[in-house]
Amino acid sequence: MNEDRVESGLVALDKMLGGGYFRGDSTLIAGSPGTGKTTLAIQFLASGVMDDEPGVFVTFEYLPQQMYRDALAKGWDLKEWEKSNKFRLICTTPEVLIAEDEKGNTLLDEAIKEIKAKRIVIDSLAHFEFLGLSQSELRGTIAGFMNHLKLKEVTTLVTHEIPEIIGPVMRISDFGFEFLVDNVIILRYVEMEAELKKAFIILKFRGGDHDRKLHEYITTKTGIEIENPFQNVEGITSGASRKTATQRAKDLI
Amino acid sequence: MADEKSKLGLKKLVEVWTDSDLKIEILVFFHNNPGVIDTVEGLAKRLGKTVDVVKHEIADHINIGILKERKIGDKIVLTYDKTQEQEIEAFIEEEINKKLGCAVNAKGAQR
Amino acid sequence: MTSNTLITGIQVLTAALFFVIGGMLLKRKAKSRYARPTIFFALWWVIVGITKGKTILDSILVEYEYYGLHIGLFYLNAVLVFAGFFFLLYYTLVLFTGNEKITIPFGVFFLALLVLLLAFVAASGPVVITEAGGDLAPGTIDCEIPNWVTTLLLLGMLLPQIGVCVALYVLFFKLKGQPTQRYRVFLISTSLFLWFGSGLLVSFAESARGSDAWLIIKELISLFAGMLIYFAYNPPAFIKKKHNIIGLADENTVQAVQAEE
């Protein structure tokens, strides 16, 4: 097994993962809208830029100009990264992305080759659902795509939107995307006594021990910051978490 | 040689400036979003225009090499050629200045 | 000094102490979402003081042989006691569940009990006992309430409060690493046990012996219960230092400094 680790871009997450993602592994970042999936993904690529590990960001969702603007606001100059060949931003559709030329190369293969990319982000997997494929065909397509990236030894993050903003039911996808990746990270809103907070959960981490605690995280001007695990709180995974009586005692007794 | 060709292309675009705003819109769109790789159908969706109109309007862009057509699988996609980026930037700046100048002049005339 | 004077003296001290505690807790700076339970908890202690004050007023009126206010005071006291019991339950339920809505059925239940009590008392034509002799002391309200209503009222009012005491005691064992809260919850739950327990103990003792000594003990227990609450929020300096506990005054100062920062 390849024990080489890749930094996630968040010191706290690396610690939770026992040193970072395994090189070549794929990670699904699933979360409701606005939970910071894209930010987390760019942080991952930003870390690569610093470590001389170029990255490709494939977006089906945002126009590059939005990405440049939003990233710049957080201090990441994507255009500069592109100029120095440490980054590529591809805005396309899933059908174009998976299409192969006569030599069997995809657009992504070309980008990887062009900048010697080591990290890939696909934002987001939900768009593959619009390909009009059956459930099994779609699973097969994505599995093939993921395997292809694994063979190229690139570490991949794929985002996926969970429609439920809050609530006891949390289905990652109808297509079982979570089974096609090595790791699954969940970003979700939790209601805590009339306050909306965000919880960071590592649901699955293949091949290694990881922090199973539910951590609070915040989105700051410079990206996501994972904080300490929720203490004395129950029911976080149901979306409607409650502080325990011992936690409330601080305010009430 | 390449420079000459692109200048010629840009000049041509300037000539049709009054003819079609969409041509400029496409140019600016790709300049702002150089990473867009899509089919004509996809581009039409992104621009909020019909496929036929976009297909007609991008012909010039393809001719002068700002946009490139390539076949991937059964799809023909459009990609933006970033090598002319500096020139296009200058061109867009010039056009914006022209427009701004017109606006200032119009104001002055009103006074 | 007669035993009556002694009892009244202790009662005055107790009432004053509970008013001080209530006032002190009302001034507490609570987080906005906990403002209501915090106020209700303070009001509970104010009501405890008022009911003690009512007992004192009853005795004074009896002393002056004036019985015109007793029935009115009885009704007023009943309303306040029910409100107080609800406030205490509300506070405890929010503390344990964080959910204020859960208190609504309890509020409705207490209101129904209160209406039931007032309806039966009013329908029976209550009379104030003015003559010494017989089972009832002067100033007592004599009214006919069916046994099942009395039982229902006792169970309905006391069981939730006993639950409150037990729950708070349980919380004491869970509060590790929070010395101040642990100390306070211990004294609060002990005080509540004493408060409710003293009433039951003495009603049993009174019927068994009819002795004034038991009434004095009851009042002393009430006073002690009040002192426990007072010290819960104003711990003596040696306890503060030894067990790293802060008083209510220190707590408000800390919050004010944090707010300024």
Average pLDDT of span C134-151: 80
Interval C20-34: pLDDT, tens: 999 999 988 777 778
Q: Is the pLDDT of residue C204 over 70?
A: no
Does ipTM top 0.90?
Answer: no
- Is residue B48 within 8 angstroms of chain A, CB to CB? no
Using a CB-CB distance cutoff of 8 angstroms, which residues of chain A are in contact with residue C181? 246, 249-250, 253
Measured between CB atoms, which of A64, A88, A100 is closest to B72? A100
Question: Are residues A93 and B72, on separate chains, in Cβ contact within 8 Å?
Answer: no
Question: Are residues B42 and A93, on separate chains, in Cβ contact within 8 Å?
Answer: yes
pLDDT band of residue C140 (cuts 50, 70, 90) is: confident
* 3-state class percentages of chain B: helix first, strand second, coil last, to nearest 5: 70, 15, 20
Indicate the helix (H) or strand (E) that contains B94: helix B85-110
Question: Are residues B33 and A64, on separate chains, in Cβ contact within 8 Å?
Answer: yes
Answer yes or no: pTM beyond 0.80: no
Distance CA C51, CA C43 (A): 12
Q: Is the pLDDT of residue C252 over 70?
A: no
Question: Are residues A242 and C31, on separate chains, in Cβ contact within 8 Å?
Answer: no
Average pLDDT of span C146-166: 89
Using a CB-CB distance cutoff of 8 angstroms, which residues of chain A are in contact with residue B74? 99
Task: List the single range of A167-176, B53-62, C200-209 with lowest mean pLDDT.
Answer: C200-209
Using a CB-CB distance cutoff of 8 angstroms, which residues of chain C are in contact with residue A245? 95-96, 171, 174
| pLDDT at B2 (0 to 100) | 44
Q: Which candidate in C40, C92, C181 is best for mutational testing of the A interface (most A CBs within 10 A)? A: C181
Task: List the single range of A180-189, B16-25, B38-47 with lowest mean pLDDT.
Answer: B16-25
Question: Are residues A193 and C91, on separate chains, in Cβ contact within 8 Å?
Answer: no
Question: Are residues B42 and A92, on separate chains, in Cβ contact within 8 Å?
Answer: yes
| Closest residue of chain A to B71, computed from CA coordinates | A101
- Is residue B85 within 8 angstroms of chain A, CB to CB? no
| pLDDT at A240 (0 to 100) | 61
Q: Is the pLDDT of residue A226 over 90?
A: yes
Question: Are residues A245 and C174, on separate chains, in Cβ contact within 8 Å?
Answer: yes
| pLDDT at A1 (0 to 100) | 41
Look up residue A222 and give its amino acid: T
Using a CB-CB distance cutoff of 8 angstroms, which residues of chain A are in contact with residue B70? 101
Task: List the single range of B41-45, C77-81, C161-165 with lowest mean pLDDT.
Answer: C161-165
Packed helices C104-123 and C70-97: angle between N→C axes, nearest 10 degrees:
160
Average pLDDT of span C160-171: 90
The share of chain A scoring above pLDDT 70, in percent, equals 91
Using a CB-CB distance cutoff of 8 angstroms, which residues of chain A are in contact with residue B39? 93, 96
pLDDT band of residue A30 (cuts 50, 70, 90) is: very high
**Whose structure tokens read 């009001």?**
C43
Task: List the single range of A76-80, C11-15, C170-174, C254-258 with lowest mean pLDDT.
Answer: C254-258
| pLDDT at B110 (0 to 100) | 39
Report how far apart, in Å, the C-alpha atoms of C88 and of each of B72, C94, C106, C150, C232 are. 73, 10, 11, 22, 17
**Which is nearest to A212 in space by CA: A223, A204, A220, A222?**
A204
Contacts of residue A160, defined as CB under 8 A and 6 or more positions apart, other chains included, come to A28, A29, A30, A37, A124, A125, A126, A172, A173, A177
Q: Say how many C-beta atoms besides its own lie within 10 A of residue A83's C-beta.
A: 11
- Is residue C229 within 8 angstroms of chain A, CB to CB? no
Look up residue A139 and give its amino acid: R
| DSSP-assigned beta bridge partners for residue A189 | A198
Please state the separation of Cα B98 from the chain's center in Å.
17
Question: Are residues A252 and C97, on separate chains, in Cβ contact within 8 Å?
Answer: no
Question: Are residues A107 and B39, on separate chains, in Cβ contact within 8 Å?
Answer: no
Task: List the single range of A42-56, A78-92, C39-53, C148-162 with lowest mean pLDDT.
Answer: C148-162
| pLDDT at A81 (0 to 100) | 96
| pLDDT at A88 (0 to 100) | 96
Using a CB-CB distance cutoff of 8 angstroms, which residues of chain C are in contact with residue A242? 97-99
Distance CA C112, CA C116 (A): 6
| Closest residue of chain A to B41, computed from CA coordinates | A93
The HSE-up count of residue B66 (CA atoms within 13 Å, CB side) is 29
| pLDDT at A38 (0 to 100) | 94
Q: Give helix then strand counts, H and E, for chain C.
A: 9, 2
Q: Is the pLDDT of residue C177 over 90?
A: no
C3-260 has which fold?
A: Rhopdopsin 7-helix transmembrane proteins (1.20.1070)
| pLDDT at B99 (0 to 100) | 62
- Is residue A197 within 8 angstroms of chain C, CB to CB? no
Task: List the single range of A228-242, B16-30, C120-134 with lowest mean pLDDT.
Answer: A228-242
More confident residue, A193 or A181: A181
Distance CA A69, CA A79 (A): 10
